[in-house]
């Protein structure tokens, strides 16, 4: 695509058509498109506009790759692209954000975060995009989350008052302070799983890529467990307050992360954490609650986010694509979200004593503890508190289980909340609040090998397949006693580079070394039938003799995508497994080895255009379709650092 | 145990072994049994001599060995090991047998190590976000017996626990990772390590109760990197390219980054610093962890602090100083030698009581063999070279300076050596062979110079692959393997 003589329009048009192909998050396509953008820098304005338009127009499930492209161009090419993008970044980003799945939203948020930082490995310390733009987006996002949370809380309240009102609450318009557009948007929770599922299958049914499916399912299941936890009416105001405080804590944590030296933020964070502990452990008289509430409101005040823009945006989103619009961003359940002043009902009259209360809280904050994200497992009693305000009960200080404040999803922690810096001093500070991430965050432990899994749908699934693996190995161990066993040969460089899962996941594939009969760790292994004969480990086994081991008994039928004929399923004596004969696995697909050999010969003969096969195979096992037995012996490439 | 092979079947293959098992079977029953309660944040350190065994079972609580958790109720057997069990929450251990050393320590560097893990985790999270960002590449350096390998294990185990897939690179030829001593290796870890075996073992034809890992192995054949600095550098460069390719192919590997273990000697001499510098550059290290040496730390600061001025603009390196764990113990030569012998034995015969492997013996004529030897005259060579002909200069072509490999004669000298089978072809040039990865190992059981054949123990049945072999002086010849 080196078309320097072409006009900007033509380049943009070309670019637009290439963008149409960007359906997955394919690194190759993205870097390719980035290179094109770089080569045609004279048409930067047109290309930038094309990308923006594409992001706006394309279907929600293609927005993420498109935004990744924007990200890649901005980071790798830089100006003038950043300048062009910056102009409309807010609307481009928010428009996309409003239309995508919650899981994708998180990805977008993560990306946004990187925009606030300098480009990795660059000499300049300027952020990718100017902080003005990113802050504006940040504010809008906070606003959106607030609204969502508020909505959710309202439902929880109603529900706790009258379980039967559960369904009605969907239709109830949100309170006046809420953003109006939520009337139209499906509420995050109460909609019931079925509709949510529908929306989901609409979204992903087309391309059959259940990529985000797992996340969403995990979410959906978690909500019901959240709801019953809504307390009786008497507690709900405390709960709301706790929610608000958690939100503020998160905001402060973020600020603290940005500016760890700011004493003011440190103090506030500590005060908030203590306040939270108190609220969780003690029953406060309503009057005091009101004081606290007032103070919290005031604390939250200094950063009023722009309300209108998002409202308008979300409203348009609902109009444009009523079916596809996912619920307003439900905050990840364990992660508390900031709740801003507008969220607080003005039921409690402000009291003059509020300031003094805050002062005392601040004092309380000056505990000699490093700023912690969550109170360590046995939280230190807030001894510094003025006793007249909050009498501390005896030693029986066991707080109720609180949602971990470091957002954890599927056992992966959110790195943003990690407050460890890579320097000798920072590493020495004990951080008991991080420890749960290693253990308690993954509570679901395998009893035979102590491997941990997340307490989520995905985690359970993983564990189930892990237990299957144990079972299979156990079975094979019993069988294998009779047979002699040998050490296998090590992989060659190329095989090693291509090998994927050295693990046990049944969904994963590992190309075994030729002379390495499947060692029982991969449900599906690829090997040549000449396995046990090291002499024939040369490069070109007859395709007819290749086979793919199938250990999943439900997959006994498969059709070769090339010739559309069924693969032959049979017992293979040598490997003592059921296999597809004359078969070859590439990515998630199984071809006739002979068909594939033919086909790859053809493509190899053709020009060396970029691979058209997207590297993503939905199963998580990412293997590239290239590099078969016929390939060059060693293909090692030197990594280029930009 | 009968060996389906030649006359070796009459050789007492199990003999050295039974030597070793004999001692642990005699006091087998009257093993003393004891229960230890370990309070939280403490570490129970223990040593077991070669020939003795100690069984440890976790009764309650949680416990981990170098980051890898132990399941409750599972019996682990240790022999010839110096190790430690740490607990975050407190635990009770049942110990059968008598460790030669055993005590509980309150002071552990686990806080720092865990923080290091989280700092890395933060960088991994960052790398997750952009398809072009790279995960952290951390290298652990420090003097011998400072706990480098233990730290590598801990970092790896924690990363794996959190669903990461780090590439673990061992640049210390003294001890092999999933391979024999004398090799350098790289492995992608996504599953639990075998706590009894260190890192685990490489694949066999049979099932394995602990998921196997696939290492990429290179043969170096000398104990210290200085032994043949040129070969060492060549291998490091080669491996860096392979690992980087792997990282660029696999997204999970990319964001999880690399954890590198290094030899202790490399951090002690100027020549070593040069090799270190080379490895740091080749692997594009982002974090350099200096374990237990102030001097090394300040030397590294000096060396790398002004790096941004460098023309290539490598990413800045964070240099971290960590203190050595009080639990680090010196391993004497005898211990290390016994470890080496064991790992060779286990490569061919499997781990006693866990997995029995059947190696095969075969007779191979001299003419069918293509044997090379690692050139080893580094110091000697340098003094023989004309002045100004410095072999530190990397002229890559393999022309000047020290040779990498030299053709070896089949002779009695080879007897009892372990030879590496290369992923290469007979007829390839020496410099190609030198950088080829290893396919496996054979043991040269005996050499008959008159009749011009040798008996070879190979891990697999069938003819020996017609591949070039390389021998060297390290690991030293073992006599105990087969008769």
**Residues A15, A85: one domain?**
yes
> What is the pLDDT of chain B when averaged over all its residues?
85
Q: Identify the CATH class of B33-105.
A: mainly beta
**What is the C-alpha separation between A622 and A625, in angstroms, rounded?**
9
* Interface check A539 vs B, CB under 8 A: no
pLDDT at res. B401: 57
CA distance B388 to chain A (A): 31
Which tens digit of pLDDT belongs to each residue from B26-51? 444 556 889 999 999 999 999 999 98
Q: Is residue A366 part of a domain?
A: no
Does the structure show a pLDDT above 50 at A173? Answer: no
Name, of A487-496, A586-595, A628-637, the range with top average pLDDT: A487-496
Q: Would you say residue A309 lies in a domain?
A: no
At B154-211, the pLDDT tens digits run: 999 999 998 899 999 999 999 999 999 999 999 999 888 888 888 888 888 888 888 8
Give residue-wise pLDDT tens across range B250-293.
Answer: 899 999 999 999 999 887 888 889 999 999 999 999 999 999 99
Which residues of B are part of a known binding site for ATP? 43, 82, 145-150
- Nearest Cα of chain A lies from the Cα of B377 at a distance, in angstroms, of 28
Residue B96 pairs in a beta bridge with B33, B55
Picking from B71, B188, B318, the nearest residue to A423 by CB comes out as B318
Q: Which residues of A touch B158 (CB under 8 A)?
A: 438
- Domain limits, chain B: 33-105, 109-322, 333-378+403-471
Nearest to A121 by CA among B119, B297, B126: B126
Q: Are residues A51 and A121 in the same domain?
A: yes
In a domain, A195, yes or no: no
* Nearest to A129, CA basis, from A84, A180, A67: A84
On whether both A27 and A109 belong to a single domain, the answer is yes
| Strands, sheet with B453-458, edge to edge from the N-terminal-most edge strand | B360-365, B453-458, B438-448, B418-422, B469-471, B371-374, B405-407
pLDDT of A439: 82
**Are B162 and A437 inside 8 Å of each other by CB?**
yes
Q: Is the same domain home to A466 and A555?
A: no
* A470 and A582 share one domain: no
**Whole-number Å distance between alpha carbons of B273 and B284:** 16
Contact A501 B190 (CB under 8 A): yes
Specify which residues B400 forms β-bridges with. none
pLDDT one-digit tens code per residue, A602-620? 554 444 333 333 333 333 3
Measured distance CA(B463)–CA(A533) in Å, rounded? 8
DSSP letters along B276-344, please?
HHHHHHHTT-SEEEEES-HHHHHHHHHHHHTGGGSTT-PPP-EEEEEPPPTT-----HHHHHHHHHHHH
Q: Which residues of B touch A637 (CB under 8 A)?
A: 241, 245, 248
pLDDT at residue A431 greater than cutoff 50: yes
Q: Which of A79, A113, A129 is the last residue of a domain?
A: A129
CB-nearest to A520 from B161, B208, B244 is B208
The confidence band for A642, taking pLDDT boundaries of 50, 70 and 90, is very low
Which chain B residues are Cβ-neighbours of A617 within 8 angstroms? none
Q: Is residue A20 part of a domain?
A: yes
- pLDDT more than 90, % of chain A: 1
Higher pLDDT, A508 or A274: A274
pLDDT, greater one: A68 or A307? A68
pLDDT score of A594: 77
Q: Which residues of B participate in the annotated binding site? A: 43, 82, 145-150
Average confidence (pLDDT) over B48-56: 92
Question: A482 and chain B: CB distance < 8 Å anywhere?
Answer: no
Phi, psi (rounded to 5 degrees) for B365:
-75, 150
Any alpha helices (H) in A162-307, and if so which ranges? Answer: 165-171, 193-205, 213-226, 233-258, 263-281, 286-300
Look at residue A125 and tell me if it is in a domain: yes
Q: What is the pLDDT of residue A66?
A: 87
**Considering chain A, what percentage of its residues have pLDDT values greater than 70?**
45
Q: Find chain A residues with C-beta within 8 A of B191's C-beta.
A: 451, 502-504
CB neighbourhood size of A566 (10 A): 12
Q: List the single residue in A72, A435, A448 with the smallest CB-CB distance to B114.
A: A435
- Please give the distance of CA A39 from its chain centroid, rounded to a whole number: 32
3-state secondary structure of B183: strand
DSSP structure string for A582-609: TEEEETTEEEEHHHHHHHHHHHHHS--P
Nearest residue, CB atoms, A521 vs list B126, B212, B438: B212
pLDDT recorded at residue A206: 37
Residues 6+ apart with CB under 8 A from A476: A520, B206, B207
Question: Are A477 and A547 part of one and the same domain?
Answer: no
- A327 located within any domain: no
Question: Does any CB of chain B come closer than 8 Å to the CB of residue A461?
Answer: no
**For residues B349 and B320, is the Cβ–Cβ distance under 8 A?**
no
Q: Are strands B287-291 and B137-141 parallel, antiparallel or unpaired?
A: parallel
Cβ separation B461–A532 shorter than 8 A: yes
pTM over 0.80: no
Q: Provide the CATH number for the domain around residue A125.
A: 1.25.40.90
Q: Does residue A221 sit in helix, strand or coil? A: helix
Q: In this complex, how many residue pairs, one in chain A and one in chain B, have their CB atoms less than 8 Å apart?
A: 300
Regarding an ipTM greater than 0.90, the answer is: no
- What is the predicted pLDDT for the residue at B198? 82
CA distance A472 to chain B (A): 9
On the question of pLDDT at A639 being above 70, the answer is no
Q: HSE of B202 in the Cβ direction (CA atoms, 13 Å)?
A: 32
Euclidean distance between CA atoms B130 and A108, whole angstroms: 11
Shortest Cα distance, chain A CAs vs residue B421, angstroms: 9
Chain A hits for B304, CB-CB cut-off 8 Å, are: none
Domain count across chain A = 3
Average confidence score pLDDT of chain A = 62
Any B CB within 8 A of A257 CB: no
B349-404: pLDDT as tens digits: 988 877 888 899 999 999 999 999 998 764 444 444 444 444 444 433 334 456 88
Mean pLDDT, range A16-41, rounded to an integer: 83
Residues of B in contact with A113 (CB under 8 A): 129
Q: Which residue range(s) make up the domain with A449?
A: 441-484
Tens of pLDDT, residue by residue over B237-246, are 999 999 999 9
**Statement: residue A369 has pLDDT above 60:** no
Name the pLDDT band for A290 (thresholds 50, 70, 90): low
Helix or strand or coil: residue B396? coil
Instruction: Give the model confidence (pLDDT) of A501-560 as tens digits.
Output: 655 543 333 333 333 333 333 333 333 333 333 333 334 456 667 777 766 555 666 777
Structure tokens given for B145: 């017996």
B contact test, residue of A120, A253, A488 with most B CBs within 10 A = A488
In a domain, A493, yes or no: no
Q: Are residues A36 and A106 in the same domain?
A: yes
- B109-322 folds as Rossmann fold (3.40.50)
**Domain B333-378+403-471: CATH architecture, name and number where available:** Beta Barrel (2.40)
Choose one of A95, A129, A163: the last residue of a domain: A129
A450 falls within a domain: yes
């Amino acid at each position: 695509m080196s078309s320097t003589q072409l006009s900007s329009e033509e380049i943009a048009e070309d670019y637009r058509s290439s963008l149409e192909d960007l359906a997955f998050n394919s690194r190759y396509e993205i870097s390719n498109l980035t290179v094109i953008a770089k080569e045609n820098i004279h048409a930067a304005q047109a290309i930038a506009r094309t990308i923006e338009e594409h992001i706006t127009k394309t279907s929600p499930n293609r927005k993420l790759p498109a935004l990744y492209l924007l990200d890649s161009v901005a980071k790798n090419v830089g100006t003038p692209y950043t300048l062009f993008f910056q102009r409309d970044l807010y609307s481009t980003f928010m428009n996309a954000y409003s239309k995508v799945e919650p899981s994708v939203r998180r990805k977008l948020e993560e990306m946004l975060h990187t925009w606030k930082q300098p480009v990795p490995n660059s000499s300049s310390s300027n952020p990718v995009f100017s902080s003005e733009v990113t802050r504006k987006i940040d504010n809008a996002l906070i606003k959106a989350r607030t609204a969502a949370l508020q909505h959710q809380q309202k439902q929880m309240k109603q529900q706790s008052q009258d379980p039967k009102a559960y369904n009605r609450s969907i239709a109830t318009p949100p309170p006046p302070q809420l953003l109006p557009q939520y009337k139209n948007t499906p509420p995050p929770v109460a909609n019931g799983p079925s509709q949510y599922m529908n929306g989901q299958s609409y979204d992903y049914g087309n391309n059959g890529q259940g990529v985000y499916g797992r996340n969403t399912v995990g979410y959906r299941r978690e909500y019901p467990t959240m709801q019953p936890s809504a307390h009786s009416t008497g507690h709900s105001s405390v709960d709301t307050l706790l929610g608000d405080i958690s939100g503020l804590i998160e905001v402060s944590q973020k600020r603290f992360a940005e500016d760890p030296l700011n004493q003011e933020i440190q103090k506030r964070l500590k005060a908030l954490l203590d306040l939270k502990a108190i609220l969780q452990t003690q029953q406060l008289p309503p009057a005091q609650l009101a004081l606290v509430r007032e103070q919290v409101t005031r604390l939250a005040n200094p950063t009023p986010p722009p309300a209108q823009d998002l409202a308008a945006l979300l409203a348009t989103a609902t109009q444009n694509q009523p079916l596809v619009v996912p619920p307003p961003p439900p905050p990840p359940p364990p992660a508390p979200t900031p709740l801003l002043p507008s969220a607080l009902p003005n039921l409690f009259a402000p009291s003059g004593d509020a300031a003094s209360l805050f002062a005392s809280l601040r004092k309380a904050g000056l505990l000699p503890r490093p700023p912690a994200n969550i109170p360590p497992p046995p939280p230190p009693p807030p001894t510094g508190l003025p006793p007249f305000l909050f009498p501390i009960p005896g030693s029986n200080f066991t707080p109720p289980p609180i949602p971990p404040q470091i957002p954890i999803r599927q056992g992966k922690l959110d790195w943003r909340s990690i407050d460890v810096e890579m320097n000798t001093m920072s590493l020495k500070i004990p951080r008991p609040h991080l420890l749960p991430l290693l253990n308690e965050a993954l509570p679901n432990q395998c009893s035979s090998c102590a491997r941990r899994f997340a307490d989520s749908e995905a985690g359970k699934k993983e564990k189930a397949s892990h237990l299957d693996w144990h079972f299979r190995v156990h079975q094979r161990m019993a069988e294998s006693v009779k047979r002699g066993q040998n050490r296998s040969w090590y992989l060659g460089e190329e095989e090693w580079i291509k090998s994927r899962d050295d693990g046990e996941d049944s969904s994963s594939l590992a190309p075994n070394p030729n002379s390495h009969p499947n060692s029982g760790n991969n449900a599906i292994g690829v090997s040549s039938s000449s396995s046990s004969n090291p002499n024939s480990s040369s490069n070109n086994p007859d395709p007819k003799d290749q086979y793919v081991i199938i250990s999943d008994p439900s997959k006994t039928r498969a059709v070769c995508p090339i010739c559309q004929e069924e693969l032959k399923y049979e017992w293979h004596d040598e490997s003592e497994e059921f296999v597809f004969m004359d078969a070859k696995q590439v990515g998630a697909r199984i071809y006739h080895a002979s068909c594939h050999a033919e086909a790859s010969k053809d493509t190899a003969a053709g020009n060396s255009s970029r691979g058209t096969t997207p590297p993503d195979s939905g199963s998580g096992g990412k293997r590239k379709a290239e590099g078969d037995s016929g390939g060059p012996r060693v293909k090692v490439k030197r990594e280029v650092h930009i | 145990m009968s060996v389906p092979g030649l006359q070796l079947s009459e050789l007492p293959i199990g003999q050295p072994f039974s030597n070793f098992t004999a001692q642990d079977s005699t006091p087998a029953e009257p093993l003393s049994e004891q229960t230890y309660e370990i309070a939280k944040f403490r570490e129970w350190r223990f040593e077991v001599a070669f020939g003795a065994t100690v069984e440890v079972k976790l009764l309650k609580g949680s416990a981990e060995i170098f980051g890898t958790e132990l399941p409750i109720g599972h019996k682990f057997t240790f022999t010839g090991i110096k190790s430690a069990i740490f607990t975050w929450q407190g635990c009770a251990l049942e110990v059968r047998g008598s460790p030669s050393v055993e005590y509980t320590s309150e002071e552990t560097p686990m806080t720092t190590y865990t923080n290091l893990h989280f700092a890395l985790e933060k960088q991994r999270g960052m790398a997750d976000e952009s398809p072009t960002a790279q995960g952290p590449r951390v290298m652990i350096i420090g003097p011998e017996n400072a706990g480098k390998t233990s730290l590598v294990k801990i970092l790896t185990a924690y990363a794996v626990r959190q669903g990461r897939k780090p590439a673990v690179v061992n640049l210390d030829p003294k001890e092999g990772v999933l391979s024999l001593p004398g090799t350098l290796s790289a492995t992608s870890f996504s599953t639990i390590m075998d706590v009894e075996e260190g890192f685990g073992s490489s694949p066999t034809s049979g099932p394995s109760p602990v998921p196997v890992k696939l290492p990429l192995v290179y043969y170096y054949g000398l104990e210290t990197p200085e032994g043949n600095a040129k070969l060492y550098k060549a291998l490091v460069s080669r491996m860096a390219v392979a690992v980087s390719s792997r990282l660029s192919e696999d997204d999970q590997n990319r964001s999880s980054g690399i954890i590198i273990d290094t030899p202790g000697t490399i951090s002690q001499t100027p020549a070593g610093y040069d090799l270190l510098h080379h490895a740091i550059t080749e692997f594009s290290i982002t974090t350099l962890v200096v374990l237990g040496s102030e001097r090394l730390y300040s030397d590294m600061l000096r060396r790398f602090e002004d790096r941004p001025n460098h023309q290539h603009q490598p990413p800045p390196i964070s240099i971290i100083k960590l203190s050595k764990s009080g639990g680090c113990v010196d391993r004497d030569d005898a211990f290390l030698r016994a470890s080496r012998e064991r790992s060779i034995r286990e490569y061919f015969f499997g781990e006693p009581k866990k997995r029995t492997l059947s190696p095969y013996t075969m007779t191979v004529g001299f003419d069918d063999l293509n044997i090379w030897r690692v050139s080893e005259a580094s110091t000697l060579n340098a003094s023989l070279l004309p002045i100004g002909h410095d072999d530190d200069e990397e002229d890559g072509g393999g022309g000047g300076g020290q040779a990498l490999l030299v053709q070896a004669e089949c002779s009695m000298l080879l007897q009892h050596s372990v030879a590496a089978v290369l992923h290469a072809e007979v007829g390839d040039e020496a410099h190609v062979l030198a950088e080829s990865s290893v396919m496996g190992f054979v043991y040269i059981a005996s050499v008959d110079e008159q009749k011009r054949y040798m008996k070879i123990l190979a891990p697999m049945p069938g003819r020996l692959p017609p591949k070039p072999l390389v021998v060297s002086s390290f690991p030293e010849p073992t006599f105990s393997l087969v008769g």
